[in-house]
């Protein structure tokens, strides 16, 4: 039950700006006025072209995705991977880098986007690991077309819960 949650340390999310899950998380932060950031490749590369400047992301000195992935894992306390399938590509690389850095990783598979179970899993993960900055990666749009909407809804629900708790601590 979510009523026992007294505080959540998470103050910021970071993501790499790729289409799909990354953008869903970033847009949830923008719309819900929540701190965000992260690294993207030099030239703001993504599968759909140049990442819009509305996303306040730092560019790496390299144009490869792995540099961005490394820096986002490094600059976070933990990683929440939102995916619909076995990890591959950049999502798998994120999990491997975070694990090598001995940082906690939670992998969430789709339930109903408004599922209280997913929200509780995220909050418990954040609390148990005292996460202040959460890295949120996942498959790009061409690998999971529903990833954007699922991520957007899930991260929006998380942000709203964090904001509610910060405004009315028990």
- pLDDT single digits (tens) 61-109: 999 999 999 999 999 999 999 999 999 999 999 999 999 999 999 999 9
Q: Is the pLDDT of residue 27 over 90?
A: yes
Domains along the chain?
12-165 (3.40.50.450)
Kindly state the tokens that stand for 63.
């144009």
Does residue 2 register a pLDDT over 50? no
**Positive or negative: CA dihedral 55, 59, 62, 66:** negative
Q: Which two tokens stand for residue 140?
A: 């790009």
3-class secondary-structure state, position 125: helix
Q: Are 38 and 56 in contact (CB under 8 A)?
A: no
> Which of 94, 105, 110, 108 minimizes the C-alpha distance to 150?
110
Cα Rg, the chain, nearest whole Å: 15
The answer to whether the CB of 13 falls within 8 A of the CB of 29 is yes
Give the C-alpha separation, 91 to 136, whole Å: 10
């Amino acid at each position: 039950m979510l009523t026992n949650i007294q505080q959540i340390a998470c103050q910021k999310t970071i993501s790499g700006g790729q289409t799909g899950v990354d953008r869903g998380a970033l847009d949830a932060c923008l719309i819900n006025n929540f701190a965000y950031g992260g690294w993207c490749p030099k030239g703001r590369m993504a599968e759909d072209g140049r990442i819009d400047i509305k996303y306040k992301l730092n560019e790496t000195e390299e144009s490869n995705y792995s540099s961005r992935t490394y820096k986002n894992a490094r600059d976070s306390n933990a990683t929440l991977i939102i995916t619909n399938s076995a990890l591959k590509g950049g999502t798998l690389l994120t999990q491997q880098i975070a694990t090598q850095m001995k940082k906690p990783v939670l992998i969430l598979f789709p339930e109903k986007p408004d599922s209280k179970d997913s929200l509780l899993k995220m909050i418990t993960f954040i609390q148990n690991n005292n996460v202040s900055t959460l890295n949120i990666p996942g498959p790009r749009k061409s690998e999971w077309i529903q990833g954007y909407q699922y991520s957007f809804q899930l991260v929006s629900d998380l942000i709203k819960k964090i904001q509610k708790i910060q405004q009315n601590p028990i």
